[in-house]
Amino acid sequence: MTPRTPHTRKTARGAWPVARVLRDRDAGLYLAGAVVSGFGTSALWLASGVWVKDLTGSDGLAALCMLAMWAPTLAGPALGTLADRVRRKPLLIATNLLSAGLLLALFAVDSPDTLWLLFAVLFVYGAAGVVHDAAESALVAAVIDPRLLGDFNGLRMTAGEGMKLVAPPAGAGVYAAYGGASVAALDAATFALATGLYAALRVREAPPRRPAVNWRRQTAEGARYLWGHPRLRPLVVAGGVMMLCAGVCGPTLYAVVDALGHSPAYAGVLYALQGAGSVAVGLLAGPALRRLGGRRFAAAGVALLAVAVAARAVPHDAVALVSSAAAGAGMPAVLIAALTAVQHETPGALLGRVTATANSLIFIPNVLGLAVGAALVELADLRLLLPALGAVLLATAVPLARRPA
């Protein structure tokens, strides 16, 4: 891949980091593509579960939609290797076109007998997403000024969280008016638009070298590099522990609302405040990373989340509102810090598989945590469970705050 262009380096000078990122043409295209495709994905995420529930009446089958989309993360290291074997820009375009074409097959889903097609499409959709994220991370690291990577990743987090607030209600509205196939068509259209945005990127890539080892050994190289790196491993481990605790905490939301004496709809208020906190920290991530460094920024975020989770045990409206916003602000810090560190510290030839491996180690625990939390919320007292989770998170933050040897 060619070095960064003078235009990209020039954007590193300026008053406000967010403006510097947005003035970079390629960074703006990347962000626009993330916003567009993220809108469609978030809309489909909710609508697919509602669709299955309407067709079968089964809560368990509806929950399988999320599992089908998440399951390919288990094979993240192997899928991410693809991003190191081919040129990344064509791969981004191909994964978007594949997702768009797959979604159109959902027009055939109209009865419980055809649900296998929905689950199959969601599974391949999730696998394409893993490859897409690995290729995008590697390409971004090669194109955008390294000094702006933290700002870019923060803005991308802001865009993603913003879509999670807007897209699910929009998807539910489209589903209610026109049915599940229409939501699939909407998502396919967003992927087609994102394809055009990625095609407009001014990137020149040399074909990657022919691998000297087989796929399995290439995948293992990425895992070994990540786990053996003294600056990456602590951030990834902290991210995995944080997402595990967040997963356990997730199913307690309605129990918290119940303890406050509100209807289940009040959970929407807490969720919106959490999203607002994530949006805000995404805007501040770049300056915070430069000022604190990746480890201390991540430690501050995990510590804030620890306090917020423990505070949810207090049955008071004001505490619940503030803790939701604080949790939303704390969670993204370690994710942004880990991704930015991976992009800074990993050679370009390894970056696709290292990114995918890091994502798997961070996000798979969240799925496990959701299952554990669903069981514990019926058995454990919130006044004990939530402070215990807070203590685990605080213990995770302490090593990150220390200066490494």
Tokens at residue 31, please?
């962000």
Position 225 scores a pLDDT of 92
Q: Secondary structure of the chain: what % helix, strand, coil (to 5)?
A: 85, 0, 15
Taking Cα atoms as reference points, which of 202, 206, 239, 179 lies closest to residue 361? Answer: 239
Give the other-Cβ count within 10 Å of 153's Cβ: 26
Mean of per-residue pLDDT scores for the chain = 86
Position 9 scores a pLDDT of 40
Mean pLDDT for the stretch of residues 63-78: 86
Mean pLDDT for the stretch of residues 368-378: 80
Position 7 scores a pLDDT of 40
What confidence tens digit (pLDDT) does each residue in 313-335 have?
Answer: 898 889 999 999 999 999 999 99
Specify burial of residue 211 (Cβ count, 10 A radius: 0-12, 13-18, 19+): middle
Buried b (16+ CB within 10 A) or exposed e, 126-151: bbbbbbbbbbbbbbbbbbbbeebbbb
What is the rounded distance in angstroms from the CA atom of residue 45 to the CA atom of residue 101?
Answer: 17
- Does the pLDDT of residue 298 top 90, yes or no? yes
Taking Cα atoms as reference points, which of 163, 157, 153 lies closest to residue 17? Answer: 153
Mean pLDDT for the stretch of residues 118-125: 93
Between residues 45 and 120, the one the model is more confident about: 120
The pTM assigned to this predicted structure is 0.84
- Asked if 184 and 192 count as a contact pair (C-beta separation under 8 A), the reply is no
